[in-house]
Amino acid sequence: MERAVRIHKYGPAEVLSFEPIEVPLPGPGEALIRHTAIGLNFVEVYFRRGTFKVPALPATLGNEGAGIVEAIGPGVTGVQIGDRVVYADGPLGAYATVRLYPADQLVRIPDAISDRQAAASFLRGTTARMLLKEVAPLKAGDTVLFHAAAGGVGLLFTQWARSLGIRVIGTVSHERKAEAARRAGCIEVINYATEDFVERVRDITSGEGVAAVFDAVGRDTALKSLATLKPRGVLALFGQASGSPPDINPSLLAPKSLYVTWPIRPVYMATPAQRQTSATDLFDAIGGGILGVGPNQIFALDDIVAAHRELESRKIVGAAVITP
């Protein structure tokens, strides 16, 4: 019997429950995907808690998966039955053995990339690429600050940045995560729970500051991050693991003509051409040995509650996937 993990109300990990589902028939423009690996991402905690609202309850969570196309609906031309594909964003519903998905948002997985690698890296890797190559005008020799550098996006960003000659100062919330950030290529690692990262960045950069800060932590770090930027630097907020960032008065930006942005993948990958360009760049970086994508942990779908507890407590280092 096919199954899905659903929530009927917002709350802790225990609100996740299993329900049987029928195998749906794809409609126009849809493909039926049998999952072989499902991405596990912190954004799913936001949806489960109600920080981000689902379209309607009950809801099946999950927004990244890889698998096999088992059926296609009328008008589908971009994929065929039997194709190995990966997706991220779009409609929720990855926490299931099978699901329907818009066919024009699917990306074929190259032969050199496994389904688990694809599910562990597609959302994180294309996010890292967006931050590194499109959000801020970075070049070889620049120094940047990346909060939560031992997270899934942070590890990929750091590895990729190192290959481009960009120096990454990483922060972590626990000392046990520091070594992972160093292995990925951080030139320095700061434990922001015990150290003043603003002072450390000043010391590391000899007072110059960094060209950009990439911040998925939110409330605990956002305002202080502004103080680490050099003139015309960019603060890119892309998450809120510690809570929503405080309001930023534009007058705080004026002394150094700073920029603040909140980039999201659906905007940077809005068209099939943009999705394919980003995916090809990611898969080439994996195949070329620039990126080690894991996954570092694998959970069974039956263990989804435990997986969310680990995710929420920030115990997961790097990428994790769920196997149906």
CB 41 within 8 A of CB 321: no
Q: Taking Cα atoms as reference points, which of 19, 22, 15, 21 lies closest to residue 5?
A: 19
pTM of this prediction? 0.89
Q: What is the 3-state secondary structure (H, E, C) of the chain?
A: CEEEEEECCCCCHHHCEEEEECCCCCCCCEEEEEEEEEECCCHHHHHHHCCCCCCCCCEECCCEEEEEEEEECCCCCCCCCCCEEEEECCCCCCCECEEEEEHHHCEECCCCCCHHHHHHHHHHHHHHHHHHHHHCCCCCCCEEEECCCCEHHHHHHHHHHHHCCCEEEEEECCHHHHHHHHHHCCCEEEECCCCCHHHHHHHHCCCCCEEEEEECCCCCCHHHHHCCEEEEEEEEECCCCCCCCCCCCHHHCHHHCCEEECCCHHHHCCCHHHHHHHHHHHHHHHHCCCCCCCCCEEEEHHHHHHHHHHHHCCCCCECEEEEC
Do residues 242 and 217 lie in contact, with contact meaning Cβ atoms separated by under 8 Å?
A: yes
Written as tens digits, the pLDDT of the chain (324 aa) is 899 999 999 999 999 999 999 988 999 999 999 999 999 998 899 899 998 999 999 999 999 999 999 999 999 998 999 999 999 988 999 999 999 999 999 999 999 999 999 999 999 999 999 999 999 999 999 999 999 898 889 999 999 999 999 999 999 988 888 998 999 999 999 998 889 999 999 999 999 999 999 998 878 888 999 999 999 999 999 987 767 788 889 999 999 999 999 999 989 998 888 999 999 999 999 999 999 998 889 999 999 999 999 988 877 777 899 999
Using CA atoms, how far apart are residues 9 and 24, in angstroms rounded to an integer? 24
- Residue 39 near residue 88, CB atoms below 8 Å: yes
Instruction: Give the model's pLDDT for residue 313.
Output: 83
> Given this model, what pLDDT does residue 184 score?
93
Residue 80, number of CB atoms within 10 A of its CB? 12
Per-residue pLDDT at 68: 98
Handedness of CA 82, 84, 90, 92 (dihedral sign): positive
> In this predicted structure, what is the pLDDT of residue 193?
84
